[in-house]
Amino acid sequence: MKIEQIELRRIALPYVAPFETSGWRELASHALLVRVEADGIVGWGESPVGTGPWYNEETSSTAWVMAQEHLAPMLLAAELTRPEDVAAVYARVRGNRMACAGFEFAVWDLFGRATGQSLRAMLGGQRERVEVGVSVGVQPDLDTLLRVVGDYVAAGYQRVKLKIKPGWDLEPTRLVRETWPDLRLQVDANSIYTLDHAAHLAKLDAYDLLLIEQPLAHDDILDHAKLQRIVQTPICLDESIVSPDHARWALELRACGVINIKPSRVGGLHAARQIHDMAAAAGVPVWCGGMLETGIGRAANVALASLPNFTLPGDISASARYFARDIVTNPFVLNADSTLTVPDRPGTGADIDVDFLDQVTVEKVVLRGTVAG
């Protein structure tokens, strides 16, 4: 198969509420969307980049330039026999994994629609429903935190992740744990601590947490290994795991007890599945993280989370958690058992709301391949 046309869009889709971590605050999705076309069939992908280089080095602006100047032309020039071939197309590209992932997702969707296979089936997923939780950002005060968490618990979420930072860690966690003793609870530091905080972080052991996510530097593995020997709660690596090799290094060093897999962070679904398989062989559970994706990226995440070693609830909440209106006509809805249903239609199963997508598109460009003959 040869991609004949690629359409790129930058969007601005407001969140229902600001999302704040230990290091940044987001008001809207500024994702890069990729639409690929071949033989009259269309596939969609999403690069869930932010406006600033706070989660990783990429931004909506850098992804936009990379997509037009390098990634789209490289894909248009390639011959593809299967979705996994995209990894080889971009093997020479250093970094820019989220930008690359958007193209790879679109190709998976395209092949699924061309062959009549769901993304779940293509990846080898086994579950028809996947457990999900909700991520709660840093709140203005403790009363607001309890109200926000209470609303999500009432909505049916059985797992909650709290964003933490120095000065907003032990007390918020204690209050939530005491208020909901049986809640599946975890915390996420987004790399704000150092190894000097080890004794302080060990105090979180008292609150029966599923995991402590990425407490140390975004690119660190070694110090996390040291911290895991001090802290009883499983350390989960997120930002540090940007490739299958990084996952292998972390597993060999025993730097973590859990790995978060965001397929966009590692360059796509092919690399994500490799990390899943590697962690499964090592007896280390994984869970699917999210980047506040639209329904396009969320569909890819949900399909990935149906693989067997995703044994912890993912950060792939219902669409209404993030958007008053999504850019798909079939947004994800939370089931009563705190799960999302995995689409079983060809490709990702996402149906694009083209009219609304046009309303939230801030920039669009179309690139075409060279016609033979």
Q: Are 148 and 29 a contacting pair, CB within 8 Å? A: no
Condensed to tens digits (0 to 9), the pLDDT of residues 77-99 reads 999 999 999 999 999 999 999 99
CA gap 233, 231 in Å, rounded: 6
Condensed to tens digits (0 to 9), the pLDDT of residues 199-253 reads 999 999 999 999 999 999 999 999 999 999 999 999 999 999 999 999 999 999 9
pLDDT number for residue 372: 44
Q: Which residues, including other chains, have CB under 8 Å from residue 26's CB and lie 6 or more apart?
A: 15, 18, 19, 20, 50, 51, 292
pLDDT (average), residues 330-345: 96
Place of tokens 């969320």: 298
Q: Which residues, including other chains, have CB under 8 Å from residue 328's CB and lie 6 or more apart?
A: 294, 295, 296, 299, 319, 350, 351, 352, 353
| Residue % of the chain over a pLDDT of 70 | 99
| Token duo for residue 58 | 């990429």
Catalytic: which of 2, 161, 163, 364? Answer: 163
Catalytic: which of 2, 161, 203, 262? Answer: 262
Find the DSSP H helices in 90-219: 97-115, 119-123, 142-155, 170-179, 198-202
CA gap 373, 371 in Å, rounded: 7
pLDDT number for residue 259: 98
pLDDT number for residue 21: 80
CA atoms within 13 A on the CB side of 370: 7
Work out the mean pLDDT of the chain and round it to a whole number.
Answer: 96
Q: Please, which pLDDT band fits residue 345 given cuts at 50, 70 and 90?
A: very high
pLDDT number for residue 369: 85
pLDDT number for residue 23: 77
| 182: Cα separation from own chain's centroid | 26
Condensed to tens digits (0 to 9), the pLDDT of residues 293-329 reads 999 999 999 999 999 999 999 999 999 999 999 999 9
Catalytic residue check, 262: yes
| Token duo for residue 161 | 């992740």
CA gap 242, 211 in Å, rounded: 19
pLDDT number for residue 116: 98
- pTM score over 0.85: yes
pLDDT (average), residues 157-163: 96
Given a cut of 60, whether residue 371 has pLDDT beyond it is: no
Given a cut of 90, whether residue 163 has pLDDT beyond it is: yes
pLDDT number for residue 245: 97
Q: Are 185 and 160 a contacting pair, CB within 8 Å? A: yes
Strands, E assignment, 184-280: 184-188, 212-213, 235-237, 258-261
Catalytic residue check, 2: no
> 235 has which bridge partners?
212
Q: Please, which pLDDT band fits residue 373 given cuts at 50, 70 and 90?
A: very low
Condensed to tens digits (0 to 9), the pLDDT of residues 246-282 reads 999 999 999 999 999 999 999 999 999 999 999 999 9
